[in-house]
Amino acid sequence: MIATTLVLLLTLIALAIPVAAALGVLGLSLDAIYSSLPLSRAMGEIAWSASNEFLLVSVPMFILLGEILLRSGYAERMYGAMVKWLSWLPGGLMHSNIAACGVFAATSGSSVATAATVGTVALPQARRFGYDERLFLGTLAAGGTLGILIPPSINMIIYAVLTDTSVPKLYLAGIVPGVVLMLLFMATILGACIVRPAWGGQRIHTDWAGRIASLVHLLPPLGIFGVVVGSIYAGLATPTEAAALGVVAALLLAIAAGRFSLAMLREALEGTMRSTSMVMLIILAAYFLNFVISSLGLTTALTDAIAGLGLSKMEMLLAVIVFYVVLGCFMETLSMMITTIPVIAPVMIQLGFDPVWFGIMIVILIETALITPPVGLNLFVVQNLRRHGSMNDVIVGSIPFVLALFVMMALLAAFPQLALWLPGVFQG
Amino acid sequence: MLDRLLAFLDKLARAAIIGGGGMIFAAALLVSFDVLARKAFGTSLGGADELSGYALAISTTWGLAAVLLARGNVRVDAVYQHLPARLRGALDLVSLTALALFAVPLARHGYAVLETSWSLGALSNTPLKTPLWIPQALWVAGLVLFAVVLVVLLARAASAFVRGDLPTVRRLAGARSIQEEAADEAAHGERVAREMAQ
C-alpha cells in the first residue's frame, strides 16, 4: 500500500498535475481502493475546519504586509544606509546586499519578495562599480533566502500549523541561525574577494557623518520588526494578531511616505489573494490526504517501515537532508513543505529530534532549494531583474552560498543550541 | 459561445478575488483594533479571531477561480517542459480533469456541511454564536464558482485540443513555466521601484 501510494503520488506530480489536485485525487483514490468506509464524506468538514484556522489567517496578512511594504519605498533608503556602513569591506556592496536582505527579512516573511526588493535596488550598482557580476548576483539570490529564516516567516507558520509547533518559539529559534548565516554569507564574500581582489569592485567613499545620518533609515524596518515580532514576546499579541498589526503599521508607513492610493491597495490585495488561495487549496488537499492515509493506518505503517531500516539518528537526518536537497531542485518550496512535512516531521520527532530545531533545519533546506537549479525561484527572480546574459551566471554565482548553507546545516546539527538557546532563555 | 461565457466568468472571478482581498483587509483592521482595545481599555470586542477565520475561509474559495484562470496553480514542470507540444496539451487537459475530480467533490461535500448546519440551526461554539450557515454559504459559493469555471474551462480547452489548436490550450491551461513566474515577480519589483523613483 505504501509503494502504491508513493508511485501514484510521484506519477501524478511528474505528469505536471497541479499539486493540489494530485494530493486531492490521491486521497480520493486511496479511499476508493482501500477503505471500507467512505472517508471522502469527511472532506467537507475537514476543508471547512482547516480553512478557518486562526493561525493560518496570518498567511495572507504576511503576504499583504510584504505587498504594502514593497510599495512604501523604504527599501531603497535602507539599502543606502547599508552601503554607507559596509562598503569598506573587501567585497564592498556585496556585503551591503546581504545585510540589506537580512534587515528586509526582519520585516518580510518571504524569500522571493526579499530577493526581488533588494535585487531591484542593488543591481544597477553592480556594473557601475565594476563588480564581478556572477558573485554579485549570487549575493542577491542567496541573501534573499534569509527572508524565511529571520522572523517573521510564512514557511515557519506553515510548519507550525502542520506539526503543531509554537510559532513564537520558531521565530526566536530562527534569529541566531539567521545572524550566523548572514555572517557565513559575508565570510564567503570576504574569502572570495581576498583571493580575487578584482571581484570586489571599486571602493565607495563615505564618512562618519554620513553613516550616522543614514541610521534614521533603519527606523522603519526596526519599527515594523518591533510591531510584528516584538509584540508577540511583549505578551501583547498572538502571531496572527501581530501580523495584523504589521499590516496596519506598513499601511501607516506607506501613507506617511505619500505612497498610498486605492489603486495600490487593490493591486496589493489581489496579489495577496492569488498567493493565498493557491497555497490554501494545497493545504486543504493535504489535510484531506493526511486524514485518509492516517485512517488507513498508512502513517503508522510508514513510520514503522522507516524505523525498521534501523538507521541511527544522524543517518536518518542525513537521509532527510539529501531527500530535501534533491526534491528541492525540482519542486516549488511551499508545496514541497506541505506535501512532505506531515509525514517526515513525526518520524523525526519520534527519533528524538526537537520539533523547533527540526523546523529551523527544514527552513534552511528550503532556502537551499530556492537557489539550486533547475527550479530555484530566487535564481530566476534575480536573472529576470537583470534582463541580460545567461541564467548560468546566477547559478554559478550562487554556488559558494549553497556551500555556505551546507556549512550552516552542519553547524546546526553539531550545535543544536544555535536554534534552541534563545527560545530557552525566553521560557526562563 | 463558450468564449463569451468564459469572459463573463473571468470578470466574476476578478470581482470575487478582490472582494476576498477586501475581507482579509477588513480582518486585519478588525484584529488590530481588537488588540489595541484590549491593551488600552482592558476589554475587547471579542470574536475578531472567529470573524477573521471566516474571512480566510471565504476569501480562499473566492480567489480559487481567479487563480485557475491566471494559471496560478503550482505544477512541477521538470518533465513537462521537455515534452512535445501535443503531449503537453494533453497533460494540460489531464490536469484540468484532475482538478475537477477534486474540486467537484469538494464543492459537493462542502455543500453537505452547509446543509447540515442549516437543518440543525448550528451556532458557532463561541460568544458570538454565529449561525454557521452564513459563513459556510459564502464559503461554498466560492467552491461552486471554482467548480463551474473549471468545467467551462475544461470544455473550452478540450474543444480547442480536438481542433488541434494547441496555442489556445496553452493559453487557457498550460503550466506557467518558472521563467514566467519569476518574470512576474521581477516585473513587480521593478514597477514598484519606478513608482518609488517618481
A276 touches chain B (CB under 8 A): yes
B167 to chain A nearest CA, in Å?
18
Q: Do A28 and B105 touch (CB under 8 A)?
A: yes
A266 touches chain B (CB under 8 A): yes
Q: CB–CB of B78/A77 below 8 Å?
A: no
C-alpha grid cell, residue A238: 498572538
Q: Which residues from B are below 8 Å from A79, CB to CB?
A: none
Q: Which residues from B are below 8 Å from A70, CB to CB?
A: 188-189, 192
Q: Do B193 and A381 touch (CB under 8 A)?
A: no
The residue written with cell numbers 527572508 in the block is: A147
> In a mutagenesis test of the A interface, which of B24, B33, B125 is the best target, namely the one with the most A β-carbons within 10 Å?
B24
- Going residue by residue through chain A, which has 428 residues, state the pLDDT in tens, using 9 for 90 and above: 778 888 888 889 889 899 899 999 999 999 998 888 888 889 999 999 999 999 999 999 999 998 888 778 788 889 989 989 998 888 889 999 999 999 999 998 889 889 988 998 898 888 788 888 899 999 999 999 999 999 999 999 999 999 999 999 999 999 999 999 999 999 999 999 999 888 887 777 788 988 988 899 899 889 999 999 999 999 899 999 999 999 999 999 999 988 899 999 999 999 899 989 988 999 999 899 989 988 888 878 877 887 788 888 999 999 999 999 998 888 888 888 998 998 899 989 988 999 999 999 999 999 999 999 877 889 988 888 887 888 889 999 999 999 999 999 999 999 999 999 999 988 75
The residue written with cell numbers 453537505 in the block is: B112
Say which of A16, A41, A265 has its CB closest to residue B80. A16
Using DSSP's 3-state secondary structure scheme, residue B123 falls into strand
Q: Is this prediction's ipTM beyond 0.95? A: no
Q: How many CB atoms lie within 10 A of CB A247?
A: 30
Predicted TM-score (pTM) of the model is 0.89
Residue B26: domain span: 2-197
Residue A217 CB partners (closer than 8 Å, separation 6+): A74, A77, A78, A80, A81
Q: In chain B, which among 44-103 make CB contacts under 8 A with chain A?
A: 49, 52-57, 59-64, 66-67, 70, 72-80, 91, 94-95, 98-99, 101-103
Q: CB–CB of A109/A157 below 8 Å?
A: yes
In chain B, the residue whose alpha carbon lies closest to the alpha carbon of A53 is B53
C-alpha grid cell, residue B118: 442549516
Total structural domains within chain B: 1
B43 to chain A nearest CA, in Å?
13
Using DSSP's 3-state secondary structure scheme, residue B183 falls into helix
Q: Do A277 and B18 touch (CB under 8 A)?
A: no
User: With 50 as the cut, is the pLDDT of residue B198 above it?
Assistant: no
Q: Predicted confidence band at B192 (pLDDT cuts at 50, 70, 90)?
A: low
In chain B, the residue whose alpha carbon lies closest to the alpha carbon of A117 is B189
Please write the tens of the pLDDT for every residue from B2-23. 899 999 999 999 999 999 999 9
Q: How many CB atoms lie within 10 A of CB A314?
A: 10
> In a mutagenesis test of the A interface, which of B117, B196, B198 is the best target, namely the one with the most A β-carbons within 10 Å?
B196
